[in-house]
Amino acid sequence: MFSKILIANRGEIAVRIIKTARRLGIRTVAVYSRVDRDALHVALADEAVFLGAAPATESYLDIGKVVAAALASGAEAIHPGYGFLSENPDFVDAVGKASLTFIGPDAASIRAMGLKDAAKRLMEEAGVPVVPGYHGDNQDAAFLKLEAGKIGYPVLIKASAGGGGKGMRRVNAEDDFDVALQSCRREAKSAFGDERVLIEKYISSPRHIEVQVFGDGQGNVVHLFERDCSLQRRHQKVVEEAPAPGMTDAVRAAMVEAAVSVAKAVAYRGAGTVEFIADGSGPLRQDGFWFMEMNTRLQVEHPVTEMVTGFDLIEWQLRVAAGEPLPVQQDEIRLLGHAAEARLYAEDPANGFLPQAGRIDHLEFGSGEGIRVDAGVRAGDQVSPYYDPMIAKVIAHGKSRDEAIDRLKNALDGTHITGLTSNRDFLRALCRDEIFRQGRMDTGLIERSMDSLVARPDVPEEAILIAALAASGLDPSGPHCGFRLWGEVSHRVAMHAGEEIIERRIVSGGGRVRLSGGNEEVLLEEIAFDGRTFSARLVRENGSDRVLARLVVDVHGGERRISVLLDGETYAFERPDPLEGEDAAHHHSGEILAPMTGIVRLVDVGAGVAVKAGDRLVVMEAMKMEYTLRSPRDGLVDAVFCIEGGQAEGGAVLIRITEERLDG
């Protein structure tokens, strides 16, 4: 076994490899770009080597720099993870020339399976079923159009060197073929440096089912059953599970036999995945699936296979690369229940799934029986615009499919991320989708159901109450919160919830906090507060009660942002800057609030005084700086609730102005 390995990757897969290596007593060397200097994988590794600037071409994709880092650190082998250089045969050759071991298949296997057209010709020769289509060398546009007509529309144009959904176009009619081909070639050239394409019959209700295979290079190849990856968006996997819903023993036997044949055809060594497209218009059939491609690396979704078999695939990779045979025979591999994985990304589903970059202010994952989280970031880390915006993979295992999906949803319910937008709520909606729950999905399910999957619920009064407390700056569990000699204290709070301005009044005293101003009144009791999060029992007017989840208050970039996690849903609020004059939301109520806790240094007006918009009303001091509060409009001062030299809590009402006209 190796004593030291270098990991030529970043993020959660680098962290995942480090954990297995540490368990086996293997030292690890991380590599990092300039923006990853403080990344989690760098902190966890035994050593770290700087590669270069943030762009991957200047760091993680630079073969010379990666090999040099391995040699300088004394590593004996390189684990590529997935992505980056993991399927680059030139990298494998460079690793071998440096007398290092590549933890993966040999360059010949990668080359054989790397081009889709060549791989499919190889599979046809091996007797493995392939999707009807043209996989030849003739790339003349007119010829390809003729072949598409022979196959029958709709067809799929795919980049021969493609992957990840790039360089792929569906064509429904002959008139659309030329434009689609040109577009596909441009994208393929940009993404892979190779504009060659193949043409395939488009399966109208496709399911994406793949088989995990493993070879030791000594003639032994096993499978670890199948995974269903049909929940996709624009050919990108979103949720994966094992085993595949509706899989029969007969279909599984045919599919895994084909997958093992693929691996044996290239004398495969290491972890690989053989991907099939299946007809999802009805029950799975032995003659209803076709070879699509082979990924000659570890897959992102490998944890679901680990959960249902009990084996550590990275440990297998390390042992096989070190020259050991496979640790088990095929008849020793059993299916143990069901597992499902959701990919948690920093992206905005409501805005076209645009990737989000920025700081993660708070990160907490849901937990429970059968839950595993593979994360590559921590609270305080930056999600860089240079790389894949994955935050983590949340994996759930159960005795049945329903139990696994229920546990996955519960883990997502308890996951709280603030500082940037994530797809957490979108993933929760998928877990509730009726078609998915019934196992009747295909690769088009997400697109067909997009409106319901990205829909957001109305903001409940309970969430507004908690956010209002946060915006007020009050410690609801503090012994002096709301203390007054003659009763309770009232605070008026305004917040933004998206485009909506919400205003409520908080009344506190006697260890109780209630909220009024909406359609109903709610009450908090049994409040526990630790300075950043709190829990409480919430009581409705009708007498029913329930326990709230948690609240996280984030102050970042000079703006107070509040994120409430309640019953699995997250609700985002923002406290407007009360110093922005007419733009401040609370000014519309006529109440001038203290923008922060501080000392009132000057009061310029008294009750009954007429004021005009922009007139100075109060000057406060906090943190050795003065803040001038001005009137948002013309009117009369109805009441003054502060005195010079006195202290005012943030959110407290200082002045109330009526809308009475000055000339009236």
* 3-state SS track over 489-553: EEEEEEEEECCEEEEEEEEEECCEEEEECCCCCEEEEEEEECCCCEEEEEEECCCCEEECCEEEE
The rounded distance, in Å, linking the Cα atoms of 22 and 74 is: 17
Within 8 A by CB and 6+ apart from 443, the residues are 206, 207, 208, 230, 231, 232, 235, 280
Continuous segment of H or E residues that includes residue 396: strand 390-398
H-type helices in 159-221, by residue range? 177-192
User: If we measure between CA atoms, which residue out of 487, 355, 497 comes closest to residue 422?
Assistant: 355
E strands within 80-235?
101-102, 133-134, 155-159, 168-171, 197-201, 206-216, 221-233
Within 8 A by CB and 6+ apart from 624, the residues are none
Within 8 A by CB and 6+ apart from 150, the residues are none
User: If we measure between CA atoms, which residue out of 269, 272, 274 comes closest to residue 326?
Assistant: 269
User: If we measure between CA atoms, which residue out of 338, 340, 535, 348 comes closest to residue 424?
Assistant: 348
Catalytic residue at 297? yes
H-type helices in 115-248, by residue range? 116-125, 141-151, 177-192
Q: Does residue 298 contact residue 374 with C-beta atoms inside 8 Å?
A: no
The rounded distance, in Å, linking the Cα atoms of 209 and 129 is: 14
Token pair for residue 131?
A: 């999707």
Catalytic option among 16, 185, 233, 297: 297
Residue keyed to tokens 């009064």: 461
**Which residues are catalytic, by number?**
297
